[in-house]
Chain A
Amino acid sequence: MTAETTDTTANATDTTATDTETGATATPMGFGRMHRKEDARFIRGRGNYVDDVRLPGMLHGAILRSPHAHARILSVDASAAEAHPGVKAVITGETLAGMDLAWMPTLSGDVQAVLATDKVRFQGQEVAFVVAEDPYTARDALELIEVDYEPLEPVIDARRALDEGAPVIRDDVEGRTGNHIFDWEAGDREQTDAIFERAEVTVAQDMLYPRVHPAPLETCGAVADFDRVTGKLTVWCPTQAPHAHRTLYALVAGLPEHKIRVISPDVGGGFGGKVGIYPGYVCAIVGSIATGRPVKWMEDRSENLMSTAFARDYHMRGEIAATRDGKVLAIRVKVLADHGAFNGTAQPTKFPAGFFGVFTGSYDIRAAHCEVTGVHTNKAPGGVAYACSFRITEAVYLVERMMDVLACELDADPAELRMKNLIRPERFPYTSPTGWEYDSGDYPRALRLALDMVEYDKLRAEQAERRRDGGPLLGIGISFFTEAVGAGPRKHMDILGLGMADGAELRVHPTGKAVLRVSCQSQGQGHETTFAQIVAAELGVSPDDVEVVHGDTDQTPFGLGTYGSRSTPVSGAATAIVARKVRERARLVAAAMLEASPDDLEWSVSEAGGRWSVQGSAEHGRTIQEIAMAAHSNLELPEGVEGHLDAVTVYNPPNLTYPFGAYVCVVDVDPGTGQVKVRRFVAVDDCGVRINPMIVEGQIHGGLADGIGMALMQLMAFDEDGNHLGASFMDYLLPTSMECPSWELGETVTPSPHHPVGAKGVGESATVGSPAAVVNAVLDALRPYGVRHADMPLTPANVWSALQGTPIRTDLAVT
Chain B
Amino acid sequence: MTVQITVTVNGQPYTGDVEPRLLLVHFLRDGLGLTGTHWGCDTSNCGACVVHVDGTPVKSCTALAVMCDGHEVTTVEGLERDGDLDAVQKGFAECHGLQCGFCTPGMMLTARWLLDRDPDPDEARIREAVSGQLCRCTGYENIVRAVRWAARHEAARAGAGTEARAGTGDGAAGGTREGTGP
Whether A301 and B38, one on each chain, are in contact in the complex, defined by CB atoms closer than 8 angstroms, is no
Within the complex, what minimum Cβ distance (angstroms) separates A321 from chain B? 37
Whether A742 and B100, one on each chain, are in contact in the complex, defined by CB atoms closer than 8 angstroms, is no
Within the complex, what minimum Cβ distance (angstroms) separates A287 from chain B? 19
Q: Which candidate, B1-9, B65-73, B134-142, is the interface stretch facing chain A?
A: B134-142
B35 at the interface (CB under 8 A from A): yes
Within the complex, what minimum Cβ distance (angstroms) separates B26 from chain A? 8
Contact residues in B for A44 (Cβ distance below 8 Å):
36, 76-77, 79-80, 85, 89
Cβ-closest chain B residue relative to A695: B96
* Given A39-B92, A302-B42, A702-B99, A742:B144 Cβ within 8 A: yes
Whether B138 and A738, one on each chain, are in contact in the complex, defined by CB atoms closer than 8 angstroms, is no
* Given A217-B100, A269-B100, A45:B137 Cβ within 8 A: no
Cβ-closest chain B residue relative to A745: B141
Contact residues in A for B15 (Cβ distance below 8 Å):
none
Whether B93 and A35, one on each chain, are in contact in the complex, defined by CB atoms closer than 8 angstroms, is yes
Report which B residues bind A (CB closer than 8 A). 19, 21-22, 26, 29, 33-43, 45-46, 48, 75-77, 79-80, 85, 89, 92-94, 96, 98-105, 108, 123, 126-128, 130-144
Q: Which of B40, B96, B99 has the most CB of A within 10 A?
A: B99
Give the dominant DSSP class at A's interface: loop
* Given A39-B92, A43-B89, A728:B41 Cβ within 8 A: yes
Contact residues in A for B76 (Cβ distance below 8 Å):
43-45
Within the complex, what minimum Cβ distance (angstroms) separates A109 from chain B? 30
Whether B45 and A729, one on each chain, are in contact in the complex, defined by CB atoms closer than 8 angstroms, is yes
Within the complex, what minimum Cβ distance (angstroms) separates A724 from chain B? 14
Contacts A/B (CB < 8 Å), 30 sampled? A35-B93, A39-B93, A39-B101, A40-B93, A43-B104, A44-B36, A44-B77, A44-B80, A45-B37, A52-B29, A136-B22, A217-B46, A217-B102, A217-B135, A218-B102, A219-B40, A266-B100, A268-B102, A269-B100, A269-B137, A524-B101, A698-B99, A702-B138, A705-B139, A736-B134, A736-B140, A737-B144, A738-B127, A738-B128, A743-B139
Within the complex, what minimum Cβ distance (angstroms) separates B101 from chain A? 3
What are the 9 tightest A-B residue pairs by CB atom distance, in nearest-first order? A45-B36, A524-B100, A42-B101, A268-B102, A701-B139, A524-B99, A45-B76, A729-B45, A705-B139
Contact residues in B for A300 (Cβ distance below 8 Å):
41-42
Within the complex, what minimum Cβ distance (angstroms) separates B45 from chain A? 4
Contact residues in B for A542 (Cβ distance below 8 Å):
none
Interface residues of A in 35-62 (CB under 8 A from B): 35-36, 38-47, 49, 51-52, 54
Contact residues in B for A694 (Cβ distance below 8 Å):
96
Within the complex, what minimum Cβ distance (angstroms) separates B175 from chain A? 24
Whether B141 and A301, one on each chain, are in contact in the complex, defined by CB atoms closer than 8 angstroms, is no
Whether B35 and A52, one on each chain, are in contact in the complex, defined by CB atoms closer than 8 angstroms, is yes
Cβ-closest chain A residue relative to B102: A268
A536 at the interface (CB under 8 A from B): no
Distance A54 CA – B138 CA, assembled complex (angstroms): 29
Within the complex, what minimum Cβ distance (angstroms) separates A223 from chain B? 13
Distance A351 CA – B56 CA, assembled complex (angstroms): 52
Within the complex, what minimum Cβ distance (angstroms) separates B50 from chain A? 12
Whether A36 and B136, one on each chain, are in contact in the complex, defined by CB atoms closer than 8 angstroms, is no
A526 at the interface (CB under 8 A from B): yes
Within the complex, what minimum Cβ distance (angstroms) separates A527 from chain B? 11
Cβ-closest chain A residue relative to B145: A742
Q: Point out the residue from B38, B108, B140 that lies within 8 Å of A43, measured CB to CB.
A: B108
Cβ-closest chain A residue relative to B36: A45
Kindly supply a per-residue 1/0 record for chain A positions 213-242, scoring 1 wherever the CB is within 8 Å of any chain B CB and 0 otherwise: 001111100000000000000000000000
Interface residues of A in 654-702 (CB under 8 A from B): 694-695, 697-702
Q: Which of B19, B80, B101 has the most CB of A within 10 A?
A: B101
A523 at the interface (CB under 8 A from B): yes
* Given A694-B96, A740-B141, A43:B85 Cβ within 8 A: yes
Contact residues in B for A218 (Cβ distance below 8 Å):
38, 40, 100, 102
Whether A45 and B92, one on each chain, are in contact in the complex, defined by CB atoms closer than 8 angstroms, is no
Contact residues in A for B136 (Cβ distance below 8 Å):
215-217, 269, 271, 702, 734
Whether B130 and A737, one on each chain, are in contact in the complex, defined by CB atoms closer than 8 angstroms, is yes
Distance A704 CA – B138 CA, assembled complex (angstroms): 9
Distance A72 CA – B101 CA, assembled complex (angstroms): 43
Distance A271 CA – B33 CA, assembled complex (angstroms): 28
Cβ-closest chain B residue relative to A267: B100
Q: Which of B93, B130, B136 has the most CB of A within 10 A?
A: B136
Q: Point out the residue from B46, B104, B127, B133 that lies within 8 Å of A42, measured CB to CB.
A: B104
* Given A43-B85, A47-B101, A730-B45, A740:B40 Cβ within 8 A: no
Within the complex, what minimum Cβ distance (angstroms) separates A754 from chain B? 28
Q: Point out the residue from A36, A47, A702 that lies within 8 Å of B137, measured CB to CB.
A: A702
Contact residues in B for A36 (Cβ distance below 8 Å):
93, 96
Can you add 18 more A-B contacts, CB < 8 Å, to A42-B98, A136-B22, A738-B127? A39-B92, A44-B79, A44-B85, A45-B77, A46-B36, A51-B35, A51-B39, A52-B29, A216-B102, A217-B46, A218-B38, A266-B100, A268-B100, A300-B42, A301-B46, A698-B137, A698-B142, A737-B133
Contact residues in B for A46 (Cβ distance below 8 Å):
36
Whether A45 and B127, one on each chain, are in contact in the complex, defined by CB atoms closer than 8 angstroms, is no
Kindly supply a per-residue 1/0 record for chain A positions 107-137, scoring 1 wherever the CB is within 8 Å of any chain B CB and 0 otherwise: 0000000000000000000000000000110
Interface residues of A in 8-35 (CB under 8 A from B): 35
